[in-house]
A and B are shown apart, each in its own frame.
Chain A
């Protein structure tokens, strides 16, 4: 897997959102705003849909699993890059976390309709390139690239 790094070349537009831990009422707002911008740019609907799924799953994970973090989108001439960074707690076993069905979500989160253990595998599925790095006690960084067709 590639190493996580922010590729600052050829960025036509940058979007950045702060996502707070346990902020259930606003969860999804950032993804909704991102989707709106992508639609205004007349990007292909399938590409927007994949980017929307990726940002939304990432946003929900920040709310339910992390101490909070940022969701950033770089819109480029040939692709959309999504950067997700958080302030912990980090993931001890990434391979396990990426397994379909694995989840440490609380009962409360499951009652909200999440915690199927499908988010990370789905984020990888909808991305053309997926990079995840994590350090326990530090945080998790994810980069997802969705190319235009």
Chain B
């Protein structure tokens, strides 16, 4: 599933690294705990979170993740957006809750991780 498709499914907006919207992800992982993300997440995974600090970008950077979807209408501050642009990580935001976007994307065929 491309990030562009995901953006349409969740009625989202892109807030960083627009040029990366053609990237594809095969699975998603939703969490506000970055150490769980670091322990379980594989490449080509979309990170879905309500946390908007710099450590979310750093976590994605360490794992070579291409994209983060922020839920509940959260938008990180300019520094965090700048860091994501620098690291070429696509940032999306949606008004839906984590549960709702998980349901939408699962129904559309995005898989969860086996842990």
Contact = CB atoms under 8 A, between A and B. Distances in A.
Contacts of B36: 116, 118
Interface in A117-141: 117-119, 121-122, 125
Interface stretch (B14-22, B49-57, B97-105): B49-57
User: Secondary structure of the B side of the interface?
Assistant: helix
Interface in A25-44: 25, 27-28, 31-32, 35
B58 A27 contact: yes
Contact of A35 (B34, B43, B56, B61): B61
A57 B38 contact: yes
Given A118-B38, A118-B39, A113 B55 contact: yes
A146 interface: no
B62 A52 contact: yes
A112 interface: yes
A117 B34 CA distance: 11
A28 B63 CA distance: 13
A62 to B, nearest CB: 14
B3 to A, nearest CB: 20
A2 B78 CA distance: 46
Contact of B34 (A25, A49, A114): A114
Contacts of B59: 56, 113
A32 B61 contact: yes
A1 interface: no
Interface size for chain B: under 10, 10 to 19, 20 to 34, or 35 or more residues? Answer: 20 to 34
Contacts of B56: 113
Contact of A49 (B53, B55, B62): B62
Contacts of A52: 61-63
Contacts of B55: 27-28, 60, 112-114
B61 A113 contact: no
B62 A118 contact: no
Interface residues of A, number: 24
Given A35-B62, A122-B35, A28 B54 contact: yes
A88 B36 CA distance: 26
Contact of A32 (B39, B53, B58): B58
Interface string B30-73: 00111110110001000001010111101101111000000000
A28 B35 contact: no
Interface of B: 32-36, 38-39, 43, 49, 51, 53-56, 58-59, 61-64
14 contacts: A25-B54, A27-B54, A28-B54, A28-B58, A31-B58, A56-B59, A113-B32, A113-B34, A113-B51, A114-B34, A116-B35, A121-B39, A122-B38, A125-B39
